[in-house]
Chains A and B, each alone.
Chain A
Amino acid sequence: MRRRPGIGGLQNAATARDQYRLLGENVAKIRTDLMKEQLATFRSQLEEFARKHKNDIRKNPAFRSQFHEMCAKVGVDPLASNKGFWAELLGIGDFYYELGVQIVDICLATRPHNGGLINLQELCNVLRQRRKSDRGAVSEDDCLRAISKLKALGSGFEVISVGKKKLVRSVPTELNKDHNEILELAQAQGFVTVDEVERQFSWTSGRAIDALDTLLDEGLAMIDDGHRDGRRRYWFPCVSSIATSVADI
């Protein structure tokens, strides 16, 4: 643009700047208003939806999981706070807190037996048995959600994936790669032998024994010297369902 000298030129430039600013503010305001309006509509729609499908959300685990997915996509966490309209509307927060407490309970009760590592599927089964009289089913998805809320307590509840299975860890044991591989191998039969571990992973005998000893010390494994072939077997209660169904839970 050609430079225009003089007072008039400076004044013109200042007016132009002011006008641009005004226009900009206007556009921004219109946009914000629009957004606010959209959000309000969205919120009311979501509320409407939740109100309409309250019973489905409460009773049907599949529906509940889809509802959560939908909320997550639009950046709403119905569990973020127990206050507010979600809790009032759905009682959904309480549901997960209750679940969380029961999960902690089960993990503690089975800890002497499985060393604080429990198969997610098994955990769900025990949970369902316990809530038998209660209305509504509990899905694995619900368990995972409740566990993720427990993290807020800093209590070291964590879900780890070993092979195809998910295990819930309630002790602060750090499992390294070797341990995870052994757990994965054990899923086939519920147990492993030192020979099998060495053969499968081409480890030295020391490495296999070391890893197995650690698992034993952590209470995650049990030895079995009773088989005919005389080879010591290491059983893992956390991957075999028969063992976790301790009757006295």
Chain B
Amino acid sequence: MQKLGDFKLPHFFNYPPYFTLQPVRDTRNKQVQLWKELILDYCRTQKIFVVGLEEDFPLFSNPVVERSLSHEAREAFLSALVSEGRAEWLDKGHRKCLILWHRIQEWADIILSFVKDNGLEDSVMTVEEIRSGTESRGTELHGIDRTILIRALRLLEQKGKLAIFKGTSTDDEGVKFSL
């Protein structure tokens, strides 16, 4: 079976018609379903948070069968993810897409258990620290997309679990946990 790095590609990836948007509704639904799962799976294992429609995203073309997805097809598959809350467009032109293999709520839960595991219930951390500090090393939070992290933190702020405060520069927003 074909592989991308250590990622095992599904069989349909080598079947050329899956790279053409299908005109018949039932067939198209199945096609969209398979692509949605593939994109989520791939992004989760490879820790990819943002997919650019015009970039060389490895899933968008398969040199083995010499097929690549049209712009229309890329947008259709990502839009299907967006409509399920598993992705969000980052711009109006639909050129960049944020992939949420964990929903924001799930990321918030991950942050909470990270805080508890590390005894940080009353501590202060910067956003950058959560993303790349020593505490988060080896957890799912390590290397998390900044936009997603902020969104999850804001969700927790609404619930009164923490407070976000501005530092002197935009890069070091601070977070005060209060669990």
Interface residues, chain A, with chain B CB atoms under 8 Å away: 112-113, 115, 191, 216-217, 219, 222-228, 233, 235, 237, 240, 242-243, 245-248
Q: Do B17 and A216 touch across chains, with their CB atoms under 8 A apart?
A: no
Most buried by B among A222, A227, A242: A222
B26 at the interface (CB under 8 A from A): yes
Q: Do A219 and B26 touch across chains, with their CB atoms under 8 A apart?
A: yes
Known A112-B29, A113-B30, A219-B26; judge A233-B17 contact (CB<8 A).
Answer: yes
Inter-chain contacts of A248 with B (CB < 8 A): 37
Q: Do A226 and B30 touch across chains, with their CB atoms under 8 A apart?
A: no
A-B contact list, 7 entries, CB within 8 Å: A224-B19, A226-B16, A227-B67, A240-B15, A242-B11, A242-B15, A247-B10
Q: How many residues of B contact A (CB 8 A)?
A: 23
Inter-chain contacts of A225 with B (CB < 8 A): 20
Known A112-B29, A112-B30; judge A223-B15 contact (CB<8 A).
Answer: no
Q: Do B27 and A226 touch across chains, with their CB atoms under 8 A apart?
A: no
0/1 interface trace, chain B 1-40, chain A, CB 8 Å (1 if under): 0000000001110111111101110110111001001000
From B30, which residue of chain A is reached at the shortest CB distance?
A112
Interface residues, chain B, with chain A CB atoms under 8 Å away: 10-12, 14-20, 22-24, 26-27, 29-31, 34, 37, 66-68
Inter-chain contacts of A228 with B (CB < 8 A): 66
Q: Do B68 and A226 touch across chains, with their CB atoms under 8 A apart?
A: yes
Known A222-B22, A226-B67, A226-B68; judge A247-B11 contact (CB<8 A).
Answer: yes
- Closest Cβ of chain A: how far from B2's Cβ, in Å? 11
Inter-chain contacts of B67 with A (CB < 8 A): 224, 226-227
Q: Do A222 and B27 touch across chains, with their CB atoms under 8 A apart?
A: yes
Inter-chain contacts of B19 with A (CB < 8 A): 224, 226
Inter-chain contacts of A237 with B (CB < 8 A): 15
Contact of A242 among B14, B66, B68 (CB under 8 A): B14
Inter-chain contacts of B66 with A (CB < 8 A): 226-228
Q: Do A246 and B17 touch across chains, with their CB atoms under 8 A apart?
A: no
Query: In the docked arrangement, what's the CA distance between A68 and B22, Å?
Result: 44
Query: In the docked arrangement, what's the CA distance between A242 and B12, Å?
Result: 8
Inter-chain contacts of A247 with B (CB < 8 A): 10-11
Query: In the docked arrangement, what's the CA distance between A79 and B73, Å?
Result: 50
Contact of A246 among B12, B27, B68 (CB under 8 A): B12
- Closest Cβ of chain B: how far from A233's Cβ, in Å? 7
Most buried by B among A113, A115, A216, A228: A113
Query: In the docked arrangement, what's the CA distance between A228 and B24, Å?
Result: 23
- Closest Cβ of chain B: how far from A172's Cβ, in Å? 15
Q: Do B17 and A224 touch across chains, with their CB atoms under 8 A apart?
A: yes
Contact of A223 among B10, B20, B34, B37 (CB under 8 A): B20
- Closest Cβ of chain B: how far from A196's Cβ, in Å? 16
For the complex of A and B, the 3 pairs showing the least CB-CB separation, nearest first, are A222-B17, A224-B17, A112-B30
Query: In the docked arrangement, what's the CA distance between A227 and B11, Å?
Result: 19
Q: Do B24 and A219 touch across chains, with their CB atoms under 8 A apart?
A: yes
- Closest Cβ of chain A: how far from B94's Cβ, in Å? 22
Most buried by A among B14, B15, B34: B15
Query: In the docked arrangement, what's the CA distance between A226 and B67, Å?
Result: 6
Contact of B11 among A191, A222, A246 (CB under 8 A): A246
Q: Do A219 and B27 touch across chains, with their CB atoms under 8 A apart?
A: yes
Q: Do A227 and B12 touch across chains, with their CB atoms under 8 A apart?
A: no
Most buried by A among B11, B24, B34: B24
